Structure 1
Amino acid sequence: MKVIYIGTIVPNDYINNYPSTSVAANNFQSGLLKGIAKDKKIKLKIYSVPARRGWPGKSSVFFSRNENLPFYYGLNVSILSFINIKFYKEISIRFHTFCSLLKELCLKSHEKCCIISYNGDGRLTASIRFLRHFLNFKYICMVVDPPEYKGTTSRKGMLWKKIYQYNKNAYMKSVYAADALVVLNKSFITINKIKSKYIVIDGGISLDEIETIKHEKPRVYYDKKNFNIVFTGTLHEHSGVLRLIDMFEQSNIQGALLHIYGSGVDQVKVKQRADRNTKIIYHGPVDFNTAISAQYEADLLICPNPITHPINQVAFPSKLIEYLGSNTPILVTKLPSIGLEYNDAVVFYDDTLDDFKVKVKMIMNMSNNALNVLTENAMHLAHDSKEWDAQSKKLLKLIKDTI
């Protein structure tokens, strides 16, 4: 049985070479693919077109060469080459994706085969839809970053709106063309009236990391001069980082500092806000280990995803699962996708300034015993149902049922 994966994954040892790569997205792909690779009956081939845009101060024009990067026990990730110049990039990605998939499908074509794509990005999935007219294989689409609804886009102007609508339509064509789906949130299936089989995987965490943390001594909370609130993740409208800064400044909580780690389209604005306020520290883009260390050392972790943002109606904040293993209290907005199993593991707030201020102060004043109970509940939740081996088994079953 052959499984061909096309996504945006970069092996962790090389992630600094691709500064625009989302750590959460990379961990999501890595965790599931390692689980698939453990099944000896599956021949797994991984292709990737990593995000490698030039952020402010870095050149955005370059040629990315095809290379094979070691990933997991002899398995490589094949980085597809492309030219990072606007429309040339689109053309080169589509061309190399098509050639790579065609080559894999023609090799031992008698084998049962399944292609899995990370999201329905038309650059990666147009070739899949085209090849299905001529070749026999099954297709599973991971809907991790669904297109935003109600026509929202951060770009202004008629041209950008048309491009956005085109990309959204291409994404949804891939979703409807798939034999099966992996979604973060069941509401995506309901809203779009999708009839294909699907599974829900809202993220995962490494069991090894959890076990390491569990054997550490109990943490002592708020025994330092400052109460450190930490956000790690993508700096984008749907992650709510600018709204978090607004609430933090307006709440004016004595002794609290806000630490922000990450990169994204709001990176410049975040840096500007931090430069004007000594209580806000922007640490910039960091590697996975640094982000994890920051989570362990924090007094409070926060997922401030705006409840009313369209994408948060159908997506799940996968960063939340990463937070579960940190042994640190978590404050999170109550999104529709967050199930009842999280009620005893995190503290929710309703995305208003008043409730934000109340909940932060409540956590600051909680006893060490109460905080330890909260973080232990989070650790148990991560251990029992969110570790990657358990999540990847769900995907393996879907692959076998689909083929």
Structure 2
Amino acid sequence: MTRMEDSMDILLLCGYFESKYQEEISRKTKTWVENAANTFQKRLIAGFKEQGVNLKVVSAPLIGPWPTAYDDIVFRGFEAGESAENVQYVRFNNIWGYRNISRTAALKKRVRDFVRKSEAKEKAIIVYCPHTPFLEAAVYGKRLDQSIHIHMVVPDLPQYMNLSKKAHPIYDFFKSIDIQKMDRLIAQVNSFMLLTKYMADKLHVGKRPYIVVEGITDVKSIPCAEKKERGKSVAYAGKLVEAFGVKRLIEAFEMIDDQEATLHICGGGELKPYVEETCKIDNRIRYYGVVPAEKANEILQNADVLVNPRQNDDEYTKYSFPSKNIEYLMTGNAVVAYMLDGMPDEYRGLLQVPGNNSVAALAEAIRAALTDENSEQRKRQVQISRTHLYYTAVAEQICGLLNGLSH
């Protein structure tokens, strides 16, 4: 195990929230909760703690803006009280268009405290995701102390973070300005963790060091001891946006003429009314709404086939590795998914890949997965090949990178 030198202090700037606050966030959210991003951060933090680092976590939670996506005009903390994990949550004005300015100012204060109070010879700031307030605060810290190393974890590229059809032209205009600003900030980053190798070109990483890790999991062994009776349950958990193929999934399922088959969907987004209306027409389809991560995991674990209907039909797929695929595979259930350009070829043997982009091909892939006879062999393949994604292994890789650069 690679452990950090005792002389290095690490500040993690992120949008994590603890599970004790999940109910409140779900209740106040009007669109979808960033459960996948939160799970990623939770595992990252746990991994760093296993490495024995001097870690401080500061969070501006990844909630939506007021008034369109979240109830609170000002985020003042959570109703459930103080952090049980020693996470410092910053307060900020949550009004759309102003909130990033407020988030940045609040984060800068915590960064200034970190720089002034740390007596370590080596200091690092780790930024979770290309979010302007996180990057601005980190670069500010580097101005205060030129020796600070900035490491950025990049689960998605900023220009592809909102694929909703409902994005307003004003949003697109300000987003383009934000991305230009972000490019200047990213130039100050010293090292990276990327989810696909193609991200390096898009981020102009150049000769700066980086590692490629396509996801993070806390499942070391796939459940297979108590084999459940095989059924015909299909499930999807995630954002209900057309770009992710949710409408195609429902259309494909409706082509499966089997009254015993069921489709279970959870999540929120622009297609929620469509999903709700479809449930009224086809009683085999069950929609659970926006649910806590634990409930979503329960739905996935209890299913027989999990589907990620996102197709390889746009440029962004080169820079994307859906965390959903990792979560799906680690349940041990059959997984239907398309091979995206950003996914290593080795995943082809772990997935049931549709023959083409037609709805009929997706339906056929689901039918094939429902009768999969190689589930135990697939579980063994997944377990062997995904050990580098275990949360302690991911943290160890990042710490190894920081260790190497500090000497």
TM-score of the superposition, structure 1-length normalised? 0.87
Structure 1 contact 185–337 (Cα < 8 Å) conserved = yes
Matched with 2:289 is: 284
Structure 2 contact 126–153 (Cα < 8 Å) conserved = yes
**Cα–Cα, structure 1 residues 153 and 258, in superposed 2: closer, same or farther, change >3 Å?**
closer
1:65 aligns with 2:76: yes
1:392 aligns with 2:403: no
Deviations 1:316-355 (A, max 9, x none): 0111111122121111111112223323322112432232
Structure 1 contact 15–21 (Cα < 8 Å) conserved = no
**Cα–Cα, structure 1 residues 253 and 373, in superposed 2: closer, same or farther, change >3 Å?**
farther
1:15 aligns with 2:25: no
Structure 1 contact 303–331 (Cα < 8 Å) conserved = yes
1:378 aligns with 2:385: no
Matched with 1:29 is: 41
Q: What does 1:113-152 align with in structure 2 at a 5 Å threshold?
A: 113-136=123-146, 137-148=148-159
Matched with 2:95 is: 85
**Cα–Cα, structure 1 residues 373 and 96, in superposed 2: closer, same or farther, change >3 Å?**
same
Structure 1 contact 140–178 (Cα < 8 Å) conserved = yes
1:331 counterpart SS class? strand
Matched with 2:342 is: 337
Structure 1 contact 305–312 (Cα < 8 Å) conserved = no
Gaps (5+ residues) in structure 2?
A: 1-7, 27-31
**Cα–Cα, structure 1 residues 228 and 27, in superposed 2: closer, same or farther, change >3 Å?**
same
1:161 aligns with 2:168: no
Gaps (5+ residues) in structure 1?
A: none
Matched with 1:53 is: 64
2:13 counterpart SS class? strand
**Cα–Cα, structure 1 residues 142 and 264, in superposed 2: closer, same or farther, change >3 Å?**
farther
Q: Distance in 2 between matches of 1:55 and 1:158?
A: 18
Q: What does 1:1-400 align with in structure 2 at a 5 Å threshold?
A: 1-19=8-26, 20-40=32-52, 42-53=53-64, 60-66=71-77, 68-71=82-85, 76-109=86-119, 111-136=121-146, 137-148=148-159, 154-155=165-166, 158-195=169-206, 196-207=208-219, 210=221, 213-214=223-224, 216-222=225-231, 227-249=232-254, 251-255=255-259, 256-349=261-354, 350-367=356-373, 370-382=374-386, 384-400=387-403
2:126 counterpart SS class? strand
- How many pairs are equivalent? 387
**Which deviates more, 55-64 or 124-133?**
55-64
TM-score of the superposition, structure 2-length normalised? 0.86
**Cα–Cα, structure 1 residues 116 and 379, in superposed 2: closer, same or farther, change >3 Å?**
same
> What letter matches 1:230 in structure 2?
A
Structure 1 contact 329–375 (Cα < 8 Å) conserved = no
Structure 2 contact 336–351 (Cα < 8 Å) conserved = yes
Structure 2 contact 219–390 (Cα < 8 Å) conserved = yes
Structure 2 contact 139–188 (Cα < 8 Å) conserved = yes
Q: Distance in 2 between matches of 1:153 and 1:57?
A: 14
Superposed displacement of residue 199, structure 1: 0.7
RMSD: 2.7
**Cα–Cα, structure 1 residues 155 and 297, in superposed 2: closer, same or farther, change >3 Å?**
closer
Structure 1 contact 141–174 (Cα < 8 Å) conserved = no
**Which deviates more, 263-272 or 116-125?**
263-272
Superposed displacement of residue 260, structure 1: 0.8
**Cα–Cα, structure 1 residues 242 and 173, in superposed 2: closer, same or farther, change >3 Å?**
farther
Superposed displacement of residue 314, structure 1: 0.4
